């Protein structure tokens, strides 16, 4: 009897865990971000060619990102760049919208090689911080790399993995 009770209790504890399914997949996509809609630079007078910049860019998918069967429509990037000489440390956030209206949120950190005030090459990492609708339990991370175009846009290559817990 005690064995039966123990097995029954063990089964009841495992049953809710089985109900928590997860979707796992990878991301490999490219996007183009327009020239900055908002851009503000402040020079820091510390004698090291040092400045801070804040910018906002609207971005579209060249190859739409696919997350949990949803196709990405566009995203907005919000970034802060700490520039010293020909190098910059970049950090920021992005808010993306899928074709069905669901949103995802991510943060990124990385670095840039600069030619004057223009980034020549960017790379870094990103992490999903959440989402809405079907992306409400979105988690994941990956890498990005980018280069500017002659017209001032930025071309990104984005790769990574994600998980969505379903309940």
| Domain map (residue ranges) of the chain | 21-166
pLDDT in tens, 27-49: 999 999 999 989 999 999 998 88
- Cα separation of 129 and 127, whole Å? 6
- Cα separation of 165 and 99, whole Å? 21
β-pair partners for 139 = 163
Rg (CA), the chain: 21
CA angle (23, 25, 27) in 5-degree steps: 140
pLDDT in tens, 65-94: 999 999 999 999 999 999 999 999 999 999
Q: What is the pLDDT of residue 110?
A: 98
Which CATH architecture is the domain 21-166 placed in? Beta Barrel (2.40)
Ramachandran angles phi, psi of 137, nearest 5°: -110, 30
Average pLDDT estimate for 42-70: 94
Give the count of beta carbons closer than 10 Å to the beta carbon of residue 134: 17
The pTM of this model reads 0.83
pLDDT in tens, 92-116: 999 999 999 999 999 999 999 998 8
């Amino acid at each position: 009897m005690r064995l039966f009770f123990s097995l029954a209790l063990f089964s009841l504890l495992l049953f809710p865990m089985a109900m928590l399914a997860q979707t796992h997949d990878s991301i490999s996509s490219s996007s183009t971000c327009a020239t900055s809609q908002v851009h503000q630079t402040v020079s820091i007078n510390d004698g090291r060619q040092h400045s801070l910049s804040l910018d906002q860019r609207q971005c579209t998918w060249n190859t739409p990102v696919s997350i949990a069967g949803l196709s990405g429509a566009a995203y907005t990037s919000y970034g802060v760049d700490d520039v010293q000489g020909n190098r910059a440390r970049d950090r920021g956030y992005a808010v993306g919208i899928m074709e069905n209206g669901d949103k995802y949120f991510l943060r990124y950190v990385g670095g840039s090689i600069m030619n004057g005030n223009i980034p020549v090459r960017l790379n870094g990492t990103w992490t999903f911080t959440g989402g809405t609708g079907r992306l409400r339990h979105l988690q994941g991370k990956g890498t990005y790399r980018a280069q500017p175009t002659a017209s001032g846009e930025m071309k990104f290559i984005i790769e990574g993995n994600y998980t969505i817990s379903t309940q």
